[in-house]
Structure 1
Amino acid sequence: MYSRQSGRALFPFIITLLVIFSVYLYLPASQGEQADFSQMATQVSAHTVTSQENAVMIEAIGSARANQAVYITSAQSDYVTNIFFEDGDLVSKGQKLVQLQSQQEQIAVKELNINLREEKRQLDRLTELSRSQSTAKSLLEEQLSRVDATQAQLESAKTKLAEMTITAPFSGMLGKREISIGAYVNNSSIITTLDDISIIKVDFKVPEKYLAQLATGMKVLTQNDAYPDQTFIGKVTHISSRIDSVTRSVEVTASFANNSGLLRPGMLLKTALELSSNQALMVPEKAIIPLQDKHYVFQILDGVANRVEVHIAGRNNGWVAVDEGLTDGEQIITEGLIKIRSGSKVSVKG
């Protein structure tokens, strides 16, 4: 009968057999078939170093605004008799938008024109009399004043008549029409909006430490989520004369030509101000190996990885500008760095 003691005695023996069997499975069949792992090439990903433009950028967020923007209102109070635009129309400067009831103003201008002609006729008669009668000179001066007063009244009436026709103060895009024919409007009634979107401006903040480097005309790039694959190029058109004492930043205004009409006032724009630009050897940041206060890359030469010290001149959006240690056209390792060391054989994927 099998006893518990005999089972315990066999347990170490069974474990020993299993270990021997496992070693037998993993050992090569013969010495000639033994793999030389030291000669195997490690697969890595590589990048060819090229000279590219290295731009130092300051990124910020700003809101777009139109070059010019107004609410269209009426200077006079009266009823609307005609409307000459639709929602969203593109209009030119001086284009007629709304006509107000203007019969009284037309009559006033006509009456004053008649009065002015009569006053001028009286002036001409007194001018002739003043040449022969000295007493007519005082009457001549009074009549001259009447002519000037009537002339001023006529100009005022013409201005009021002109204001009964509402026109576009500049070229641009109209907003939604807020009135209808027959509506009574005054100087507080909003008729519509008008935006000049031929140029879009954006205001953003720049830290004050960059103030000495700022100048009008600097290149500015901007993007909006509505057009993720499109970059709009503009320039700095204004630098504020004051520093914000709370944020310690200066407000900068950039202008973008908007010939396509894609940019609209109120858009949230991601901007990048280009402080400087130069040609440099650009490598992916992931290829850089920091070690204490130095930086290295693995250079590939004849299928062998060699660690090379490099000097970093700047960083920008995942790329590093290198000004010492590399030359144009060399290959460096970007992926697989933890598997290799200087002198390791490597093969580039793809």
Structure 2
Amino acid sequence: MYRLSLILLLLSQCLHLSASEELSLLGSLKSHDSLTVVSEIDGVITSLGYDRGEQVSESKSLVQIDSEDYLLMLAKAKASLALSKADMKAKRARVERYRKLKAKNSLSQEQLDNAEAEFQISAFTVDLQELAFEDAQLDLQRTIIMPVADYWVTEKLIEKGDWVQKGQTLYRLENFNKLEAVVYVTENHINRIHPGQSVTIYAEALPSKTFTGEILRVGIKPESSKNSYPIDIIVNNRDGLLRSGFTVDARINVNIEQE
């Protein structure tokens, strides 16, 4: 009798510990990693490498902006820098000459001070011209915008021949290797959900396929429009079968005893 009671007790505990249920939560997919490409200079678009829906390559540029004006500005900056350096060199030589004359009492201190001040001003001018030259180099480099691998063009907002301004959005890119599903749970279930929990994903568009996911974030405040808590799930999409906007069913096994 004692042995039978012990077996029944252990069986009861096992059943009690393993009690769980599967939550089925509907949501939609969005990109987990996106980029907005903006112009860093003003100019005319001379070439566009990609259209909407195309995957970008590191070997082919996204955008090319007319570089003629920037080549000219670089040449001017280079010439101005060379002139400033020549002027500084001449004023340094004068200071050295004046110091020798002052040592022989053949020059006043005021004349030496003035020469040294002019030399300092010329040195500062060289510093400024070097910065201007570096800026001109950067602006020339910015006429070509290269993409990052593994991204797709989701929006192309300009056309060849358009005039664009600094800060203007040119493209929007998304990486689909990982997607993010947003689902919502009620207050009755929120305490059963935690980051790192595994999730099985079913997509309406691919009924015969299953995908794996993991809970990334758990909301701490309900959304007023839904009166439920947002849950963000990272979904592995290495095969590229899923897309942003797909409706998905996220299945999460939770322990009933955690309520």
TM-score (norm 2): 0.73
More deviation, 80-89/193-202: 80-89
Q: Does 1:259 align with 2:238?
A: yes
Corresponding residue of 2:200? 221
Match of 2:247 among 252, 255, 268: 268
The CA distance in 2 between the partners of 1:129 and 1:274, in whole Å, is 84
Match of 2:128 among 137, 149, 152: 149
Corresponding residue of 1:140? 119
Q: Does 1:60 align with 2:25?
A: yes
Give the aligned residue type for 1:97: L
Corresponding residue of 2:212? 233
Which has the larger Rg? 1
Tell me the SS of whatever aligns to 1:91.
Answer: coil
Label 1:245 to 1:183 Cα distance change in 2 as closer, same or farther (>3 A).
closer
Higher relative contact order (CA 8 A, sep 6+): 2
The answer on whether the counterparts of 2:198 and 2:215 sit within 8 Å (CA) in structure 1 is yes
The CA distance in 2 between the partners of 1:63 and 1:150, in whole Å, is 54
Q: Does 1:107 align with 2:72?
A: yes
The answer on whether the counterparts of 2:221 and 2:229 sit within 8 Å (CA) in structure 1 is yes
Give the aligned residue type for 1:273: I
Q: Identify unmatched segments of 5+ residues in structure 2.
A: 1-14, 100-111
Q: Does 1:96 align with 2:61?
A: yes
Shift of 1:125: 4.1
The CA distance in 2 between the partners of 1:124 and 1:241, in whole Å, is 66
The answer on whether the counterparts of 1:199 and 1:258 sit within 8 Å (CA) in structure 2 is yes
The answer on whether the counterparts of 1:83 and 1:180 sit within 8 Å (CA) in structure 2 is yes
Shift of 1:259: 0.8
Shift of 1:137: 2.1
Match of 1:118 among 67, 79, 83: 83
1:287-311 residue CA offsets vs partner (Å, 9 max, x unmatched): xxxxxxxxxxxxxxxxxxxxxxxxx
Give the aligned residue type for 1:100: I
Structure in which a larger fraction of residues adopt helix: 2
The answer on whether the counterparts of 2:204 and 2:246 sit within 8 Å (CA) in structure 1 is no
TM-score (norm 1): 0.56
The CA distance in 1 between the partners of 2:77 and 2:220, in whole Å, is 52
Corresponding residue of 2:191? 212
Give the aligned residue type for 2:23: I
The CA distance in 2 between the partners of 1:274 and 1:187, in whole Å, is 50
Shift of 1:75: 3.9
Structure in which a larger fraction of residues adopt strand: 1
Q: Identify unmatched segments of 5+ residues in structure 1.
A: 1-50, 278-312, 314-350
